[in-house]
Structure 1
Amino acid sequence: MRDAALHGTYKVQALDRAFAVLDLLGESDVPLGLAQVASSLQLHKSTAHRFLMVLERHHMVERTVGGKFRLGLRLFEYGNRAIEQYDLRDRAQPHLRKLVAETNETAHLCILEQAHIIYLDKIEPMRSVRMITRVGASNPVHCTSVGKAILAFLPEERIADVIRRTRFERFTNRTITTPEALRTEIEKTKRRGYAVDDEELEEGLRCIAVPVLDAQRQPVAAVSVSGPSFRVTAQKLPAIANCLLQCVRGISLDMGFVAKQRAAVTALRAG
């Protein structure tokens, strides 16, 4: 009986380590060698090699020509399937389409994953100049309006964890590159209720975002409007923000978040 319990514990530890390998490769901007994986995860090289071989066999990891390792395409397939099955995306689509009709700019629905945002959905207007993004892709939180919108409404411990994971890579001369500057931007976002990416990820591109909050007022996603800075001007931001607020309220209502909030208030008053 004891041997069976130990065997089960080993299997759980093995799964934890396998996911740690995937997390490490996912956080790295470049493929990693066996020694780098072993050192980063404090594993013996033979142990790290064994995990990498299993993951490679299942196409979760692939080896480059130079013998280093990166995430495999099977994870991309799983990611796409997960996005397709995500209920939030289906519920949000009518509201995103209405938002695009109102603003005539590109709308995105995004979620937070560690220190990156993932694009769950994208609706585009019929215009020649549009934002080039794809569903399933990711970008850092520190230089995106959706990232900052979600961060601003997270509990402090979550904010600190995301900032600790962020590399603060510079993309333009406007990119936020320090934790202090990001915290200042988070405070601005809290005060005004929306976040702005002012050509911080790509020159000539301006984005504005508002979080989708659940019944506990925690962000589960964010919706953004993006467009060239000559169209999405600073003067237009408040009006676009109002459209975004209506959009996320509609999503929250369809997801049942608003109804849950009202029920909780009613129960509290009754007590």
Structure 2
Amino acid sequence: MSQTVDRALSILPLLAEGPADLGQVADRLGVHKSTALRLLRTLHEHGLVYRQSDQRYRLGARLFGLAQEAMENLDIREIAHPHLVRLNEQVGHTVHLAVHEENEVLYIDKVDSRYPVRMYSRIGKPVAITVAAVAKLLLADLPEAERRALAEKLDYPLYTARSTPDATAFLRELEQVREQGWATDLGGHEESINCVAAPVRGADGRVVAAMSVSAPNVVVTAEELLSLLPQVRRTADAISGEYSGRTPVKDRTV
């Protein structure tokens, strides 16, 4: 990276801390004021910084617009899919990716198990919202008032003896999920199916999706599935890093 570009980009995190005058920018960059002014003028011309009436500079509206546009055009499924495939190759079990949309939690990707016993979940199909591990993660991240309002509106079908019975129990479980940072469904929807899930987070730390590994207990016990939690969380963290731009995208083959 050229020195000029490096210096110009260094101005942006400085202004993210708050407005700064020419002298402050020059001091932070370790350059003469004339050099800092030249950089600021270029950034100002592109709408990335704005000069206030008090002659201090702040981040420009164009920068926020670019960030918003970039976020809207990010496809979490496209980013996550190679990671899901890699995890599936490592553990052999069904891997899902889900998002929360319009009061439903939907599967948006699935990589099937290598074992003969398969799950009947489908991409685009809503999950059992009161028991599914991915749903617990997505709903646990909602603001408390919104979380409580939603919990009170939901029905609580007893799919199995382990299903969540009511709003009080559901809210208690969501609070536990918030604290521990992962979730399970151990026979809550189907007696024979267990699942462990981890959150995918955006640049602001909010949960944008949830991914899970599921398997029937004729293939693996609940305890054995839970032992995969570190791998599931590492995969979710890798997706989060790529989605939020915290880690560089590497060339890869799947």
Both proteins in one fold, TM over 0.5: yes
Name the amino acid aligned to 1:110: A
Identify the residue that residue 108 of structure 2 maps to in structure 1.
Answer: 120
Distance, in Å, in 1 between the alignment partners of 2:220 and 2:153 is 31
1:200 is paired with a residue of what secondary structure?
coil
Distance, in Å, in 1 between the alignment partners of 2:167 and 2:130 is 9
Deviation of the 1:187 alpha carbon: 2.6
Please, which runs of 5 or more residues in structure 2 have no aligned partner? 1-72, 249-254
Distance, in Å, in 1 between the alignment partners of 2:245 and 2:154 is 30
1:236 is paired with a residue of what secondary structure?
helix
Q: 1:115 touches 1:163 (CA, 8 Å); kept in 2? A: no
Q: TM-score, normalised by structure 2?
A: 0.64
Q: Does 1:231 align with 2:219?
A: yes
Name the amino acid aligned to 1:155: P
Identify the residue that residue 170 of structure 1 maps to in structure 2.
Answer: 158
Q: TM-score, normalised by structure 1?
A: 0.60
Rg larger in structure: 2
Deviation of the 1:164 alpha carbon: 2.8
Identify the residue that residue 130 of structure 1 maps to in structure 2.
Answer: 118
The change in CA–CA distance for 1:118 and 1:86 in structure 2 (over 3 A counts) is farther
Question: Match for 1:92 among 75, 80, 86?
Answer: 80
Distance, in Å, in 1 between the alignment partners of 2:220 and 2:178 is 21
Q: Does 1:256 align with 2:244?
A: yes
Deviation of the 1:253 alpha carbon: 1.9
Q: 2:194 touches 2:222 (CA, 8 Å); kept in 1? A: no
Deviation of the 1:140 alpha carbon: 3.0
Distance, in Å, in 1 between the alignment partners of 2:118 and 2:183 is 20
Question: Match for 1:189 among 161, 177, 192?
Answer: 177
Aligned residues: 176
Please, which runs of 5 or more residues in structure 1 have no aligned partner? 1-84, 261-271
Superposition CA RMSD, Å:
2.1
Q: Runs of 4 or more off by more than 4 Å in structure 1?
A: none
Question: Match for 2:191 among 169, 192, 203?
Answer: 203
Distance, in Å, in 2 between the alignment partners of 1:156 and 1:174 is 25
Identify the residue that residue 139 of structure 1 maps to in structure 2.
Answer: 127
Name the amino acid aligned to 1:244: V
Distance, in Å, in 1 between the alignment partners of 2:215 and 2:107 is 16
What is the CA deviation profile of residues 163-199 of structure 1, one whole-angstrom value per residue up to 9, with x for unaligned ones? 1331112211211021111122123323332111111
Deviation of the 1:131 alpha carbon: 1.1
Higher helix share: 1
Q: Does 1:107 align with 2:98?
A: no
Matches within 5 A, 1:205-224: 205-224=193-212
1:207 is paired with a residue of what secondary structure?
strand
